[in-house]
Amino acid sequence: MRILWIKIGGLWPVDRGGRRRSFETVRALAERHAVTVATTHVAEDEVAGLRGALPGSEVLSWPWQIPKHGSAGFALALGRSWASELPVDIWRCVVPELRREVAERLRRGACDVCVVDFLAAAPNVSLRSAGPLVLFSHNVEHQIWRRLAKVETRLARRALLEVEWRKMRRYEDRVVGAVARTIAVSEADRAMLASRVPGASVCAVPTGVDLSYFRSEGASEAPGSIVFVGAMDWYPNEDAVLHFAAEILPRVQRAVPDATLTVVGRNPSARLRALGPAVRVTGTVDDVRPHLGAASVVVVPLRVGGGTRLKIFEALAMQKAVVSTAIGAEGLPLRTGEHFVCADEPAAFADAVVALLRDPGRRTALGVAGRGLVETRFGWAAVARAFERELEEVHHARSSLRNGIRR
């Protein structure tokens, strides 16, 4: 197949969950198909890095900085979005040069299937295109915005979020209804999207993990070490850490005084860096594995989110004990008490962390069970092959339809 893959915000470096999921899928597809990646970059070395990582593929990239909250570009996108049906988070991802290139390639039939990677890429593709479009839905996007509105305490901002999540839901429904197929990352997401758009073709392909990269190397755990891993410029991650530091960590420290939290992830805010001596904030690191290896407990205290969390699979692959909220583990086929511990309220979450800090045997049992689960079902090779089968089915259905019209 000739695959055109559209991704706003770049694929390199592979330093966050969404990029990891996309990159591993693209890399596997490129071993057997002709893949063209149409994306954006901030620095030129990102383009060189991606081309080096995908040597047999065509990489087209345009300089583009997605406007950040609080910037003049974001204010402009917000103003424009208010006069349109597009939510601001979609408006700010419109890249005119990329959109023109994609339109031209689809017009002349230069691809057999076009993958729209994340809903944010959708405004760069005409939904009336004659080419077969596949949406790769990493999250139910409107659900994230709805949850943001729910936890927001500032009235003006909550009012804005209430408008935005509804606009996002309408746009998401429109795209899911227009494409040939939507590939969700969990059965829960698939069911939600399918129920909202009757007649749409929606399937689920699970999240994967690099089993050879993320594995236990016998590193010694640091006593009392609690670790959170995630891109800290994504608001749900920042909210999770601030919530943990304020509501959960003090309860843990009353029972385990030497307990500390290490926050591993790029672009932490000043609020995160000011959390105090019991919270170590690393910022960007070249390799998260030493931090995971030293963890006694890995925490995922998310209150907002969607899709699935690669951070949990990576921790399980390294045989780590994980405590997560239900939202944090949402969409993953995990059983609480066997693969991880699920807790939502601050007191229950703190109790779960304390119990694991005090019980190395229990931590080991959870880690062994978690590693066994991801080894059996969630290596990237198997996940990418399932994704490939969905693309092939769309391509073959399209080819059959065109041949029938010719006859």
Distances (CA, A) of 142 to 82, 179, 225, 331, 337: 17, 18, 35, 16, 30
Cα R_g (the chain), whole angstroms:
22
pLDDT for residue 375: 92
Spatial distance between the Cα atoms of 172 and 117, rounded to a whole number of angstroms:
13
Distant-in-sequence, close-in-space partners of 406: CB < 8 Å, separation ≥ 6: none
Spatial distance between the Cα atoms of 295 and 160, rounded to a whole number of angstroms:
39
Q: Are strands 279-283 and 34-41 parallel, antiparallel or unpaired?
A: unpaired
Tens of each residue's pLDDT in the chain, 407 residues: 999 999 999 999 988 888 999 999 999 999 999 999 999 999 999 999 999 999 999 999 999 988 777 777 777 777 777 778 889 889 889 999 999 999 999 999 999 999 999 999 999 999 987 679 999 999 999 999 999 898 888 998 899 889 999 999 999 999 999 999 999 999 999 999 999 999 999 999 998 999 999 998 877 899 999 999 999 988 899 999 999 999 999 999 999 999 999 999 999 999 999 998 999 999 999 999 999 999 999 999 999 876 557 899 999 999 999 999 999 998 888 999 999 999 999 999 999 999 999 999 999 999 999 999 999 889 898 899 999 999 999 999 877 766 654 44
233 near 267, Cβ under 8 Å? yes
Query: How far does CA 390 lie from the centroid of its chain?
Result: 20
pLDDT for residue 15: 83
The pair of three-digit structure tokens given for residue 380, joined into one six-digit string:
């990237």
293 near 216, Cβ under 8 Å? yes
Query: How far does CA 332 lie from the centroid of its chain?
Result: 13
Spatial distance between the Cα atoms of 42 and 22, rounded to a whole number of angstroms:
18
Spatial distance between the Cα atoms of 349 and 27, rounded to a whole number of angstroms:
38
Q: Which residues pair with 303 in a beta bridge?
A: none
Spatial distance between the Cα atoms of 400 and 374, rounded to a whole number of angstroms:
37
pLDDT for residue 407: 43
Spatial distance between the Cα atoms of 48 and 288, rounded to a whole number of angstroms:
23
52: closest CA among 20, 30, 19?
A: 30
